[in-house]
Amino acid sequence: MKIWNKLSVQAQYYIISFLGIGVCWGILSLTQVQFINIVFFMTAYIWHFSLVTPGLKEKVMLSHHRLSFLAIVVRVNHYLQIFINLKKLPYASSFIRALSPGLFTFMLFILGGTGNILFTILGSFIFEVIYIFMKKKTNIFHSSLLEHRENLDTAPMIPNAEKSHE
């Protein structure tokens, strides 16, 4: 336990999240689920993992990599959180975070014709359960990640170097 307390919040987050996806991947592999369904599950899990990684949103919103896939994911979630205003519902941010990976895997399903979208929902749900449980148990993760914040109405800033490219 002494080593655990010496780890940074981000390191603890990575360990908990990777253990969770490892266990889920092992269970899905043992049950002989189609590979595309495991991909749908892992896409949703990793999507949520990246959205709530401590400090990642700030780095992406202010970095020069505006057109990377991760930047698009973070910005789409940011705007969904602004436009879908469900402050009174508990865990509304979790539901809103699940919209974009659901839409992405639905498009993959339409283009590929195979797979089960329910594995995307399962991946989103499993990550959120692990995250909420660990947040309440350890109380180390940012509280603002699970709740709507008041300052979401401000659009992300574009750094000065990027303004010259537009």
> What confidence tier does 101 reach under pLDDT thresholds 50, 70, 90?
confident
Q: Which amino acid is at 160?
A: N
Is residue 27 exposed (0-12), middle (13-18) or buried (19+ Cβ within 10 Å)?
exposed
Percent of the chain with pLDDT over 70: 79
Torsion, CA 149, CA 141, CA 76, CA 87, rounded to 10:
-30
124: exposed, middle or buried (Cβ count in 10 Å: 0-12, 13-18, 19+): buried
Residue 69 CA to residue 47 CA, distance in Å, equals 11
DSSP 3-61: HHHHS-HHHHHHHHHHHHHHHHHHHHHHTT--HHHHHHHHHHHHHHHHHTSTTHHHHHH
69 within some domain? yes
Q: Which of 29-33, 85-89, 132-136 has the lowest mean pLDDT?
A: 85-89
Q: What is the pLDDT of residue 140?
A: 56
Q: Is the pLDDT of residue 155 over 70?
A: no
Who has greater pLDDT, 66 or 16?
Answer: 16
Residue 23 has pLDDT above 80, yes or no: yes
Measuring CA to CA, how many Å separate 133 from each of 2, 38, 88?
21, 23, 21
Residue 65 has pLDDT above 80, yes or no: no
Whether 161 maps to a domain, the answer reads: no
35-51 helix and 9-30 helix, angle to the nearest 10 degrees:
170
Report the domain count for the chain. 1
pLDDT at 98 over 80: yes
Question: Helices marked H in 52-165 — which ranges?
Answer: 56-62, 69-83, 92-97, 99-112, 118-138, 160-163
Whole-prediction pTM value? 0.74
pLDDT classification of 151: cutoffs 50, 70, 90: very low
**Which residue's structure tokens are 């699970």?**
146
Domain boundaries, position 36: 9-143
Q: Is residue 4 part of a domain?
A: no
Tokens of 92: 């509304």
Whether residue 156 lies inside any domain: the answer is: no
| Mean per-residue pLDDT, 51-56 | 83
| Residue 54 included in any domain | yes
Q: Of 13-27, 48-62, 140-154, which gets the smallest average pLDDT?
A: 140-154
pLDDT at 143: 42
